[in-house]
Amino acid sequence: MQYTFPENFWWGTAASGPQTEGVFEGDNKGDSIWDYWYKESPELFFNQVGPEKTSVFYEKFQEDIQLMKETGHTTFRTSIQWSRLIPNGTGEVNQTAVNFYNEVIDELIANDIEPFINLYHFDMPMKMQEKGGWESRETVEAYVAFAKVCFELFGDRVKKWFTHNEPIVPVEGGYLYQFHYPAIVDMKKAVQVAFHEILASAKAINVYHEMNLGGEIGIILNLTPSYPRDENNPEDVKAAKAADAFFNRSFLDTAVKGEFPSDLVEILSEIDVLPIIEEGDLETIKENTVDLLGVNYYQPRRIKAKESTTKLAEGPMPDDFFDNYEMPGRKMNPYRGWEIYEKGVYDILKNLRENYGNIKCYISENGMGVEGEERYVNDQGIIEDDYRIEFVQDHLKYVHQAIQEGSNVRGYHMWTCMDNWSWTNAYKNRYGLIAVDLDNNHKRTIKKSGRWFNELAKNNGFEA
Ligand code: BG6
């Protein structure tokens, strides 16, 4: 069957500044929480590889943009590092960074690759973290000022902006499950952090719209459809709904509808962790919803009613309201430990169509991380990653089906272009269309999936 996508469908990949650029002496970048955390606790990072060992996009962006062309990109998403542009989080703008981001944006446009620019990809400047990071109202204002500087500097050419990538992740990682700095467990702080991210996003959207720059602004959410163990068991259904409220609707409803889900508010109030909200905040959130939505999809959640009595922490936790369910027979990515469930992307898009006004959206991340890909190198030195091609194709079939049924999906960004550094997992799992040899001057080699992606983009679809 032929899967053809709508005209002008965007094809490309997503990445982020902190995972690709590299940190170089003399460029005046300030530390982000990742730079700081790695210096403090390198043992937390896979093979003790830290954020300075990236794929050096900072040096090689021209070569990389040529490789994007060779692999069919019509768009590329990356982020501006706040701690590079404004090293102290507030105040002076780093001209070296301005020059760098200008060059990247100009080079993309000169090669007919539409830049999609995200403002926050887990990379709080350390100077702001010292003041409380997202726990603090000061950070909201500093972030909005940073966003404004970005719109002023680059908004003449960048027409697709995003306020956050996966804002639930710093909440989970930093304040519940300890895989991001500051790695504490505190539900009340977690909720305040989430609230401030939501507010900061709405304020940045407001600034952008007021500037009338003729582009669009949205947010990128990792949506994890929550399936109950047994759809006919009301307790399982209730548990799945709670997980959905915590991890999906918290940001989705606020971004698209400007409202907090009432069941989430009820739960947070019951456990006494409602955030501090100042006068006017709820109106700001209500009035400044997104123009478009980025959907990152990797895996679903399988949920059952709370059975275990073990508590993850002394205080309240989302996990007090559900248990994760290890569904027998589910297909897994063994390296990442994530379930592969292609239909999940269809369910997300159907939900957006039916319950979120069919908001304009695109798939902003989807991809497969694999450990030890060297073993798939053929005698021409090319990684034959058929599993990645199959993964993407199987998901695209469902995206295609959703579009046929009327979903408003405008493009697809695979995660990712070059193999890149990924937080505490460092280089454990490789996701790229293009391999990076860290021991050989970061040499780039297009994988089989990169050639396939080129055909996909050129044909605006595939046959399978
Ligand atoms: C996404 C993030 O959730 O997952 C990326 O936006 C990240 O920043 C990607 O790199 C893959 O994560 P991991 O942990 O499997 O390397």
Distance 395 CA to ligand 1 centre (A): 18
455 is catalytic: no
Judged against a pLDDT cut of 80, whether residue 198 lies above it is answered with: yes
**Does any ligand 1 atom lie closer than 6 A to the CB of residue 364?**
no
**Does any ligand 1 atom lie closer than 6 A to the CB of residue 118?**
no
Specify the residue with its C-alpha closest to ligand 1, atom 12. 422
Q: What is the spatial distance between Cα 452 and Cα 433, in angstroms, rounded to a whole number? A: 9
Q: Active-site residue among 365, 373, 405, 463?
A: 365
What pLDDT is attached to residue 84?
97
Per-residue confidence band for 308, with pLDDT thresholds at 50, 70 and 90: confident
Which atom of ligand 1 lies nearest, measured to the CA of 429? 16
Distance 346 CA to ligand 1 centre (A): 21
**Does any ligand 1 atom lie closer than 6 A to the CB of residue 123?**
no
Distance 367 CA to ligand 1 centre (A): 9
Specify the residue with its C-alpha closest to ligand 1, atom 5. 422
What pLDDT is attached to residue 311?
86
Q: What is the pLDDT of residues 50-109, one digit of tens each?
A: 999 999 999 999 999 999 999 999 999 999 999 999 999 999 999 999 999 999 999 999
Q: What is the pLDDT of residues 385-416, one digit of tens each?
A: 999 999 999 999 999 999 999 999 999 999 99
Distance 168 CA to ligand 1 centre (A): 13
Q: What is the spatial distance between Cα 66 and Cα 140, in angstroms, rounded to a whole number? A: 37
Q: What is the spatial distance between Cα 330 and Cα 311, in angstroms, rounded to a whole number? A: 26
- CA of residue 101 relative to chain centroid, distance: 20
Could you give the domains of the chain? 2-463 (3.20.20.80)
Spatial CA neighbour of 150 closest among 231, 94, 227, 77: 94
**Does any ligand 1 atom lie closer than 6 A to the CB of residue 460?**
no
Per-residue pLDDT averaged across 193-222, rounded?
99
Per-residue confidence band for 26, with pLDDT thresholds at 50, 70 and 90: confident
Cβ neighbours of residue 29 under 8 Å, at least 6 residues apart?
A: 23, 81, 83, 84, 87, 94, 97
Per-residue confidence band for 440, with pLDDT thresholds at 50, 70 and 90: very high
What pLDDT is attached to residue 23?
72
Specify the residue with its C-alpha closest to ligand 1, atom 9. 422
Which atom of ligand 1 lies nearest, measured to the CA of 220? 6
Q: What is the spatial distance between Cα 345 and Cα 18, in angstroms, rounded to a whole number? A: 27
Kindly report the three-state secondary structure assignment for every residue of 278-304. CCCHHHHHHHCCCCEEEEECCCCEEEE
**Does any ligand 1 atom lie closer than 6 A to the CB of residue 415?**
yes
pTM, full prediction: 0.98
Q: What is the pLDDT of residues 98-146, one digit of tens each?
A: 999 999 999 999 999 999 999 999 999 999 999 999 999 999 999 999 9
Per-residue confidence band for 463, with pLDDT thresholds at 50, 70 and 90: very high
Report the 10 Å Cβ neighbour count for 267: 18
Q: What is the spatial distance between Cα 402 and Cα 272, in angstroms, rounded to a whole number? A: 40
* Pairwise pLDDT comparison (309 vs 415), residue with the higher score: 415
What pLDDT is attached to residue 164?
99
Distance 15 CA to ligand 1 centre (A): 9
Q: What is the pLDDT of residues 236-263, one digit of tens each?
A: 999 999 999 999 999 999 999 999 999 9
Per-residue pLDDT averaged across 272-291, rounded?
98
pLDDT averaged over the chain? 97
Q: Based on the number of CB atoms within 10 Å of its own CB, is 27 exposed (0-12), middle (13-18) or buried (19 or more)?
A: middle
Q: What is the spatial distance between Cα 337 and Cα 425, in angstroms, rounded to a whole number? A: 13
Q: How many CA atoms lie within 13 A of 139 on its CB side?
A: 26
The H or E element spanning position 76 is: strand 75-79
Specify the residue with its C-alpha closest to ligand 1, atom 16. 422
Task: Please determine, for the modelled complex, whether the ipTM score is greater than 0.95.
Answer: yes
Task: Assign 33 to helix, strand or coil.
Answer: helix
Which neighbouring-strand residues pair with 346? none
Q: CA-CA distances (angstroms) from residue 196 to 101, 200, 240?
A: 27, 6, 25
